[in-house]
């Protein structure tokens, strides 16, 4: 499933990707979009936010690793980036 998510990688027990933006405002708009997805899916990623980038990582603590829901949420974030 990871092969279907361009730029996503498996690292330290999670799948993640760093997204890069042209401005702080663009970065925060993305973060807010991810937050909306997380609330709707009731599945919340770890995010590391900087001025022009955001690292998003998913793992499912209750299963002790990666779940199908991690990949579903990652795909929804990819779709967010195409809007």
Q: Tell me: the pLDDT tens digits for 8-20?
A: 999 999 999 999 9
- The domains of the chain are located at 2-81
Using the CB atoms, write b or e for 41-79: b if 16+ within 10 Å: eebebebeeeeeebebbbbeeeeeebbeebbebbebbbe
pLDDT for residue 83 is more than 70 = no
Q: Which pTM value belongs to this model?
A: 0.92
> How does pLDDT run across 29-57, given as a tens digit for each residue?
999 999 999 999 999 999 999 999 999 99
Give, in degrees to the nearest 5, the angle at Cα 62 between 7 and 9.
Answer: 10
DSSP letter string, 27-56: HHHHHHHHHHHHHHHT---EEEE-SSEEEE
> Looking at the domain covering 2-81, what would its CATH class be?
alpha beta
């Amino acid at each position: 499933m990871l092969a279907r998510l361009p730029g996503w990688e498996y690292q330290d027990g999670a799948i993640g990707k760093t997204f890069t933006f042209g401005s702080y405002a663009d970065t925060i708009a993305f973060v807010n979009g991810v937050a909306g997805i997380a609330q709707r899916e009731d599945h919340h990623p770890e995010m590391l936010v900087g001025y022009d980038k955001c690292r998003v990582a998913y793992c499912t603590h209750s299963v002790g690793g990666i779940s199908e829901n991690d990949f579903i949420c990652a795909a929804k974030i990819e779709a967010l980036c195409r809007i």
